[in-house]
Amino acid sequence: MRYLILILVVAATPLAAATINATPADYQAKLAALNPGDTLQLAAGTYTNRLVINGLHGNSGAWFTIVGPASGTPATFNGVSGNNTVSLKDCSYIEIKNLTIDCLGLAVDGIKAEGYSTTPHTVHDMLIENCTILNAGNNQQIVGINTKCPCWNWTIRGNTITGAGTGMYLGNSNGDEPFIRGVIEGNRIYDPEGYCIEIKYQNNWPTGLGLPTGTGKTIIRNNVFIKTSRASGSGDRPNLLFDGFPDSGTGANDKYEVYGNFIASNPRESLVQCSGRFSFHDNVLVDAPNASFAGLYITTHSGKSVKYATVYNNTIYACGRGIRVASGDTADAVVGNLVFSSNAISGTITTNADNITDTVANAGSYVTNPSTTLGSMDFYPKAGQCTGSALNLSAFSSDGYYDSDFNGDSKSGFTYRGAYAGSGVNPGWSPGNTLKTGGPGSGPTTPPAPSVASPAGGALPNAFLGISYSVTFTAAGGAGGYTWSIPAVDLPPGLALNTNSGVLSGVPTTTGSYNFTVTVTDSNTNTAVQNYTITVSTPDPGSKGGGGSGGCSTGSGAAWWLLALPLLLLRSPRRKLGASRG
């Protein structure tokens, strides 16, 4: 019976995650054959048949990863007339990284979570990272990243979108297919015709689709949103607009947290417009000169009123109005901001305190180089400026990074006004038309360093002469797309490493103790190492072989149990019959 148990254990062992290399000629077939946890490593080149992901579901412990080269010639997906370039439908737990998506000026979106007319579907737990989206500017309704079905737990990180009709349009226009609890960080969106980003208002969330429960937040941080004088054919739009949550039920108490962003240049609208529930802190807003518009405009929109609004430690320069709360709405707090505008702060505000305001002409007395010119502006405070008595920000302590400034530095004594908590030479990123580096929370970060996750370093389970042996090494962190290496001279003779899957296997032919180093390399060429020992012994005649935890297995030949299966199945009922005779 123990043989049958062993057979069942072996049969139930999950497949090890693998890295599959693909080219423009074969990527579609290989995509269809992926298993959860697998990485599809796309070669450099031009892909002319789009990327369609339909019905592909990983899980929280085993994401699908689709990744292009981290540097050099990219993997570029070209637009196809009548079809969105990267199409997502009924899928989850998927990473899409390091791709260039060129819509070729066609009336097609870059990346789109497709809508539906009859049977609902969702797209959730997605990572879109370090992608470049080009030529999605056929008209204002063409979008770099677009969602038209219920979506949640998306991270959109480190992407560049230039010249789009709209940079990102998240949530369906009718409010019924919401974008829920995402993280939008470290992106650069430049020169859209309309919004850099719009996140749509939300009606009551649909039921029966597995949407999140409880209370959560959507985070918008460390992004660069820059418009130009480009004409808006379908009407002028703010750089960033986000609207309110459901009036009741799940999601009604969710919140937007918006911090560490650089938002600049809008000749005909406000830089930011918002409603619902939000905190807005440690942002730098520059250049919305029209006297009718503001750096930050807080107002009811699409039927969603302002329910909770806190605005603190922002720097706002050269805007017709600095912070404007519309008639009929109320902001809870406007505290510790640095605003240079002839109409700095207006509207109904419950707590309006400890702000520094002055004219644009006088800004040079406070900060290093006030300007609307990208690359030369510097709003870091001069020595002895932009300070006051310590701010009491305890009411905002539930906000992410409420105590970190635009650069991600500690606010320490909370004495500074505006987005920076320091003076002199700016130690951080200089505002301009580049991806922001650093900042509170995340931003376009270097992925965590890779590591060899398992087995633990040291002695591996013993191997035995002439008996098959296998151990699977797994990695964590890094940029994915792992490859593995071990100096062959250090391995027990008869064992070999699969450099893509990380499986070390074979039948040992020589006894002894063998020390070796395993190296894992991610797609960004970052490495990690771990040291191991395998002892190969002569098997005890009474032993059934070794084995153990940590992804190791042994047996007398790669398929001995398959050959013995018929005999084992016959032996088992005979024993039962003999026992029944007494």
Same-domain status, 339 and 378 = yes
Question: Of the given ranges (35-44, 134-143, 242-251, 559-568), which has the lowest mean pLDDT?
Answer: 559-568
Domain of 469, CATH number, reads 2.60.40.10
**pLDDT score at 386:** 99
What average pLDDT does this structure show over 434-448? 72
- Confidence class for position 173, pLDDT limits 50, 70, 90: very high
Percent of the chain with pLDDT over 70: 88
Residue 526 banded pLDDT, cuts 50, 70, 90: confident
Looking at the structure, tell me whether residues 421 and 456 fall in a common domain: no
Domain end (from 182, 200, 218): 200
214 part of a folded domain? no
On whether both 422 and 463 belong to a single domain, the answer is no
Same domain, 404 and 465: no
Please report the pLDDT score of residue 350 as a whole number. Answer: 99
* Total number of domains in the chain: 3
Looking at residues 49-61, what average pLDDT do you find? 96
- Model confidence at 482, pLDDT cuts 50, 70, 90, reads confident
| Residue 479 burial (CB count, 10 A) | 22
Q: Is the pLDDT of residue 561 over 70?
A: no
Q: Are residues 478 and 384 in the same domain?
A: no
What is the predicted pLDDT for the residue at 404? Answer: 96
> What does R_g of the chain's alpha carbons equal in angstroms?
29
Give the number of other Cβ atoms within 10 Å of residue 361's Cβ: 10
Residue 79 pLDDT grade (very low, low, confident, very high; cuts 50, 70, 90): very high
pLDDT tens digits, 134-157: 999 999 999 999 999 999 999 999
- Indicate the pLDDT class of residue 407, thresholds 50, 70 and 90: very high
> Do both 349 and 466 map to the same domain?
no
- 576: in domain: no
Q: Are residues 414 and 547 in the same domain?
A: no
The CATH number that applies at residue 184 is 2.160.20
What DSSP designation does 554 have? Answer: E
* C-alpha dist (Å) from residue 330 to 257, 319, 421: 18, 21, 28
pLDDT above 90: residue 208: yes
User: Which of 153, 173, 200 is the last residue before a domain boundary?
Assistant: 200
- What DSSP character marks residue 57? B
Query: Residue 106 falls within a domain, yes or no?
Result: yes
- Encode burial over 556-582: b for 16+ CB neighbours within 10 A, e otherwise: eeeeebeeeeeeeeeeeeeeeeeeeee
| Predicted pLDDT at 479 | 60
C-alpha angle 161-163-164 in degrees, rounded to nearest 5: 75
95 and 195 co-located in one domain? yes
Q: Which domain holds residue 277?
A: 238-426
Q: For tokens 């409880």, name the residue.
A: 214
Structure tokens of 364?
């040079």
Residues facing residue 91 across a β-bridge: 123
Average pLDDT, the chain: 90
pLDDT(2) > 90: no
| Distant-in-sequence, close-in-space partners of 450: CB < 8 Å, separation ≥ 6 | 475, 476, 477, 478, 479, 482, 520, 521, 522, 526, 527, 528
Question: Which one-letter DSSP state was computed for residue 366?
Answer: T
Residue 185 lies in a domain: yes
Q: For the chain, what percent of residues have pLDDT higher than 90?
A: 82
Segment 199-205 shows an average pLDDT of 98
Co-location of 417 and 467 in the same domain:
no
Lowest mean pLDDT among 12-16, 256-260, 372-376: 12-16
211 is a domain residue? no
**Using the 8-state DSSP alphabet, how is residue 8 labeled?**
H
With tokens 């370093």, the residue in question is 457
Residue 321, SS3 per DSSP: strand
Establish if 228 belongs to a structural domain: no
Q: How confident is the model at residue 451 (pLDDT cuts 50, 70, 90)?
A: confident
Residue 147 within a domain: yes
Asked if the structure places residue 40 within a domain, the reply is yes
The pLDDT value given to residue 523: 64
Task: Please tell me whether residues 384 and 469 are part of one structural domain.
Answer: no
Mean pLDDT of 367-385: 98
pLDDT at 541: 72
Same domain? 311 vs 387: yes
The count of other CB atoms within 10 Å of the CB of residue 399 is 21
pLDDT of residue 425: 96
CA–CA distance, 18 with 472 (Å, rounded to integer): 11
Q: How far is CA 188 from CA 161, 194, 524, in A?
A: 6, 15, 21
What's the confidence (pLDDT) of residue 478?
A: 66
The last residue of a domain, from among 361, 393, 426: 426
- Looking at the structure, do residues 412 and 526 belong to the same domain, yes or no? no
**What distance in Å separates the CA atoms of residue 514 and residue 537, rounded to the nearest whole number?**
11
Confirm if 92 and 60 have CB atoms less than 8 A apart.
no
Backbone angles phi, psi at 31, to 5 degrees: -60, -45
